[in-house]
Chains A and B, each alone.
Chain A
């Protein structure tokens, strides 16, 4: 007899901190596996989960968000071998981990770098602080399979947003592995949601969704123009994210600026 038969993984979606199958019951084959093929309803559920998770994540202290993201780096490191098999290899995994750590250190510095105190000509204390824009839809790039999605999702959540990410259609396994790391990292359920499936089928619903505040078209291919047009329906912030970027301006793209006026007097 042969040795023990391994228990194989079922590749599912990641919505609201749980791993459901697509409500449509559909799968498609990618990288030799059956992967869930999300539907419009899954998009809707994911946006709802993100909206629900947003106030809690945005309301956490920046210090706490930083610690949670650092914990995510720890979880990716712990699964480094598995991740290496699902992307270009060990070097990509190491760059991914270091990038997560880099963003973890930004959470409690953004307000100091991007905000300001404004010397208005009157008896008012006036200050400007960055705040997350809300729910961000991310179309993850195909390459690099792991570093790509991490480079796009991390800036959004570092700033306090909640994300619905559509994984690369051709390389979805690293994204699902990432979801498993997220699930064990203290990132609250719903802050990052990962959908796998046909991008052309899912992206238009996200682009036109009235409860999505920003869309990152980094991974869009031929349909970017149509998606950008649809995004105007509720004046979405449209970001053309680069697949291998690392900068605080990547975070700033998903931030609003709030200015508060307060009178000064006795």
Chain B
């Protein structure tokens, strides 16, 4: 350690340090008082509604439709009509051009979407502006190019669209998950009925205006809103040929059971409890940034979050110390403030779940650390939390918390790290931090997870396949591999 580093390490974090507020202008977003369902290119007046709020202030934002099975059926019929009468006749290269248009309009209106996303979901504007929006537009741009090249993606297999895709997405990346679902579905020539999450419907509803501007034919994309009952109605609808679901493993299982015997295609992107593994030769400051990004990105509302930190025993103390110091500098608060690092918890329900599991962690005997942190009075908040002294058997080491809560465990050898990392029913992602290239590849080969980040974490790209092993689901989204689930083939294989 150099003298400079030593001096730096001793510098205490000033306790009274505050940033001047830097709020993003909210007036770029115009909300309607009430939203219906977007079916066949028109707005359907909903029969039942609920109120969507801002989780940072509990302020009501708009009335949202709670789609009934009959309304879902209507949307499925519109998608079926569009598939059979028109969309199938649109040439693949014209289909591509619609998707390119959508990508461009998302880029043009990206700030509006970013503000809306942070307003309705609670995520920091920094993230919705720099991650969610650019990636959403890029996803449409990437799949646009595939639309007229499918026979090159699947040579000798005569790929054809499936028909109507029913898509159910979560609240953690509302618009990005919509892009992950709709872009490949349309590129493959299908039509869509999509349901955004109950707590974050607004960006999907604003997306309908993008569809209007792109002049997408009516019925090709239909958006219905509502809670799990609406999702269940989509899963059960006869006219749906394929279901794509992103969400909890519990609901994923229920959908798989429900679809048993129907022959409908299914892809599931479910929960995770990823290990982020730090070896003693890792670049520690970089690794600490990776740990922070791994678990506190998007308030930890990330299925691939690095929620189990595995630290090699010899560097346990410096890592924990650095981590605690870094934790104290995280700015928790107004999602629309450009300085905010950690925003609001998405809903009361999710906050309750996080609080419950954190209480369980304390009861089980883990040691909790939370930095001093002033939270806003209204809204749903949770202080970034670290648990040390965690045993493999603790619920906080086994269950997905889906919040800003990190459990730290230790290991001595690469074999032990591997065994602990793989000791979970999940298998979505993992992180490895070491300067030794051969060890990275050795670990990457043996970790039973669909995405491995080496010396980085939480990176996403439309060309990069994403999806899980084991109970984290099946099927991939992104890349050439993400097209397959939206196509059928002459050979009959999936």
Contact = CB atoms under 8 A, between A and B. Distances in A.
Interface string A215-257: 0000000001100110111110110001000010110110011
B467 interface: yes
B453 A235 contact: no
A6 interface: no
B420 to A, nearest CB: 16
Contacts of A232: 253-254, 256-257, 260
Given A229-B257, A234-B471, A235-B270, A120 B491 contact: no
Contact of A224 (B261, B451, B471, B489): B261
Interface in B469-486: 469-474, 476, 479-481
Interface in A57-75: none
A233 B270 CA distance: 14
Instruction: Give the size range of A's interface with the partner.
Output: 35 or more
A18 B461 CA distance: 48
A126 B464 contact: yes
A235 B249 contact: yes
A116 interface: yes
A261 B465 contact: no
A260 interface: yes
Interface string B444-460: 10001111111110010
A253 B494 CA distance: 7
B138 interface: yes
A122 interface: yes
A235 B470 contact: yes
Contacts of A242: 492
A257 B260 contact: no
A182 B138 CA distance: 50
A229 B249 CA distance: 15
Contacts of A126: 461, 463-464
A245 to B, nearest CB: 8
B450 to A, nearest CB: 6
Contacts of A228: 260-261
Contact of A252 (B254, B453, B493): B493
Given A119-B463, A126-B464, A249-B491, A256 B450 contact: yes
A8 interface: no
Interface string A194-232: 000000000000000010010000000000110011011
A256 to B, nearest CB: 5
B493 A128 contact: no
A213 to B, nearest CB: 7
Contacts of A28: none
B432 to A, nearest CB: 9
Contacts of B449: 258
Contacts of A262: 440, 454-456
Contact of A124 (B254, B450, B456, B472): B456
A260 B452 contact: yes
B493 A253 contact: yes
A258 B256 CA distance: 22
Contact of B476 (A225, A233, A257, A261): A257
Q: Chain A contact residues: over half helix, strand or loop, or mixed?
A: mixed
A128 B252 CA distance: 25
B470 A234 contact: yes
Contacts of B470: 134, 213, 234-235
Contacts of A247: 491, 493
Most buried by B among A121, A242, A247: A121
A32 interface: no
Interface string A34-51: 000000000000000000
Contacts of A231: 256, 260
A122 B481 CA distance: 20
Instruction: Give the size range of B's interface with the partner.
Output: 35 or more
B138 A121 contact: yes
B268 interface: yes
B465 A122 contact: no
B450 A118 contact: no
A243 B382 CA distance: 55
Given A261-B456, A262-B440, A121 B461 contact: yes
B454 to A, nearest CB: 5
A177 to B, nearest CB: 29
Interface in A107-158: 116, 118-122, 124, 126, 128, 133-134
B440 A237 contact: no
Contacts of A119: 463
Contacts of B493: 247, 249-250, 252-253
B450 A249 contact: no
Nearest to A225: B261
B450 A116 contact: no
Contact of A258 (B440, B452, B456, B491): B452
Contacts of A238: 260
Contacts of B455: 262-263
Interface in B51-109: none
Contact of B464 (A118, A210, A252): A118
Contact of A116 (B469, B473, B480, B489): B480
A133 B469 contact: yes
A133 B257 CA distance: 20
A252 to B, nearest CB: 7
B191 to A, nearest CB: 25
Contacts of B454: 260-263
B38 interface: no
Interface string A18-32: 000000000000000
22 contacts: A116-B479, A120-B459, A120-B461, A122-B459, A126-B464, A128-B481, A133-B469, A224-B261, A232-B254, A232-B256, A242-B492, A247-B491, A249-B489, A249-B494, A257-B465, A259-B451, A259-B465, A260-B452, A261-B452, A261-B464, A262-B440, A263-B455
Q: Please give me the 9 A-B residue pairs with the lowest Cβ-Cβ distance, nearest first.
A: A249-B493, A228-B260, A120-B461, A232-B256, A225-B261, A232-B257, A229-B260, A118-B463, A260-B452
Interface of B: 138, 157, 249, 252-254, 256-257, 260-261, 268, 270, 425, 440, 444, 448-456, 459, 461, 463-467, 469-474, 476, 479-481, 489, 491-494
Given A120-B459, A228-B261, A258-B450, 4 more contacts: A126-B464, A249-B157, A249-B489, A260-B452
Interface of A: 116, 118-122, 124, 126, 128, 133-134, 210, 213, 224-225, 228-229, 231-235, 237-238, 242, 247, 249-250, 252-253, 256-263
